[in-house]
Amino acid sequence: MKPLKIDLPGGLVLRRATPADRDSLLAINTQLLGLDTKVEMNYLLDGGYPGVRLEDFLVVVEPGGRVVSALSLIEQELRVGRTRLRIGNPEFVTTLPEYQGQGLIRQHFAILEQWQKERGLAFSLIMGIPYFYRLFGYEYALEDYRPGFLYPGVHQPRLAGLPDFEVRLIQESDAPALARMYAETAAQADIALALPDEGWVWSARVRRREENMIEDWIALDQGQPLASARLYGKGNSVTVSRFAGNLKGQQAIIKRALALPGLEKLGINTVRDNPLSRWIATLEPGRRETYGNYVRIIDPALAFRQLGPEFENRLALSPMAGLSREVELSFYRFSVQLVFEGGKLVSAENRPGNPNPRIGLPPDLLPKILMGYRSLEELARFYPDLNVPVVEDWELLQVLFPPLSSMVNFFI
């Protein structure tokens, strides 16, 4: 592991975290991100998640040792179709108010980008603050679908006829069933983030909404698991997300959540156009804005190579099976040269930009098309510089870059 020490103005130092930073690192995260983050970080720093090390946290410290800014790089597994990718996930991004506006986070991200290049991580995923991460080259590319709010006074009567299955907090003994249901549900989405099985046991042990804002519920029929979901928040507004299992069990969880004391509104997060989201639509929920998760492509050509099996599979299932041709995708400031032979992607290389390309795509569309954030027809309505005048090229892009559904939840 390379040593890292960067002297900054005012006596600040940017470096890797050490065991001596643990208390201060927990303090800044608790202060700025909440008690739920404190329990998550304790779990990670105690070795709960494979591959997460204290040394993967960057900190900026004052001369006296107090951490004033920090973030971490976590490696995770993202499945796209049938292809499993190792991706980078910057997390726990914090800077104390008195040090904000000094470019500390920008310096963190520059180092994290180099780490990801060294590790061969072509994709970087981050969740969180609206707009902020666009400043560091990230774009919204994975949908966080939110079909709407439900209100006890309006929607409880509509659910009165649903079966009253048992709904309770998860227990450690539920972990195998929870992992199975989540994996089965995630398999129905085109893109999904893998969750460690160990996280279910830990969540059952420590997560309580009254203590740290989060808890997981399970629905059972005569002791048999039907569904699970995560509740976030307390008081008059709660969100239910991370649904797994079957629709009847998911409905039972929502029915039970609507009966929480003092609840005024219940937010729902799920996958677009799945059974749950279609059922929620029939309830005529109140408006809630759909959100998204950010993606940055660290190395464009490597990203195409890593997704090569998906492109080959899409071609094989299309009228373009067996394709042999060169394809230059120009993102104006840079290009990616693809070579297909017999339907196989045999090379993908970064090239200089082309201001007058045959296939022109604005650079901020790169993560969106690779993650299937929207159809090309939708994107073309918003991006006039998505310029593909040759019909054959347009048809090829539609095969290579279809819209995809995603199920991406926080990993523990």
State the pLDDT confidence band at 198, using cuts at 50, 70 and 90. confident
CA distance 14 to 60: 4
Amino acid 225: pLDDT = 98
CA atoms within 13 A on the CB side of 358: 13
Is 296's pLDDT higher than 80?
yes
List, in sequence order, the alpha helices (H) in 104-258: 104-118, 152-155, 175-186, 198-206, 209-212, 247-258
What is the structure's pLDDT at 332? 95
State how far the Cα of 408 lies from the Cα of 411, in Å rounded to an integer: 8
Length of the chain: 412
| CA 215 to chain centroid | 19
Beta bridge partners of 328: 337
pLDDT of residue 409: 87
Spatial contact of 82 and 187, defined as CB atoms under 8 Å apart? no
Strand duo 325-330 + 57-61: pairing? unpaired
Average pLDDT value for the chain: 95
pLDDT of residue 290: 86
pLDDT at 2: 78
Strand partners, 218: 168, 228
Residues 194-221, mean pLDDT to the nearest whole number:
93
189: Cβ contacts below 8 Å, ≥ 6 apart: 271, 274, 405, 406, 407
pLDDT digits (tens, 9 = 90+) for 303-359: 999 999 999 999 999 999 999 999 999 999 999 999 999 999 999 999 999 888 999
The pLDDT-based confidence of 50 (bands split at 50, 70, 90) is: confident
Gap between the Cα atoms of 411 and 330, Å rounded: 34
What gap in Å lies between CA 253 and CA 269, rounded to an integer?
Answer: 13
Ordered by where they begin, the domains of the chain are 5-126 (3.40.630.30), 145-291 (3.40.630.30), 299-404 (3.30.1050.10)
Q: What mean pLDDT comes out for the span 24-43?
A: 94
pLDDT in tens, 223-249: 999 999 999 998 899 999 999 999 999
* pLDDT at residue 312, rounded to an integer: 98
CB 301 within 8 A of CB 366: no
Give tens-digit pLDDT for 235-293.
899 999 999 999 999 999 999 999 999 999 999 999 999 999 999 999 999 998 889 99
Check residue 110 and give its pLDDT: 97
Strand partners, 331: none
pLDDT in tens, 140-187: 999 999 999 999 999 999 999 999 999 999 999 999 999 999 999 999
Calpha distance 132→365 (Å, rounded): 18
pTM: 0.95
Q: Is residue 51 predicted with pLDDT exceeding 80?
A: no
DSSP string spanning 343-372? Answer: TEEEEEEEEE--SS-SSB--GGGHHHHHTT
The model's pLDDT over 91-120, given as tens digits with 9 standing for 90+, comes to: 999 999 999 999 999 999 999 999 999 999
* Token code pair at residue 251: 């409905």
**What kind and span of H or E run contains 282?**
helix 275-282
Cα 180 to the chain's mean position, in Å? 20
The tokens of 357 are what? 């390309």
Q: Strand 265-270 to strand 139-150: parallel, antiparallel, or no bridges (unpaired)?
A: antiparallel
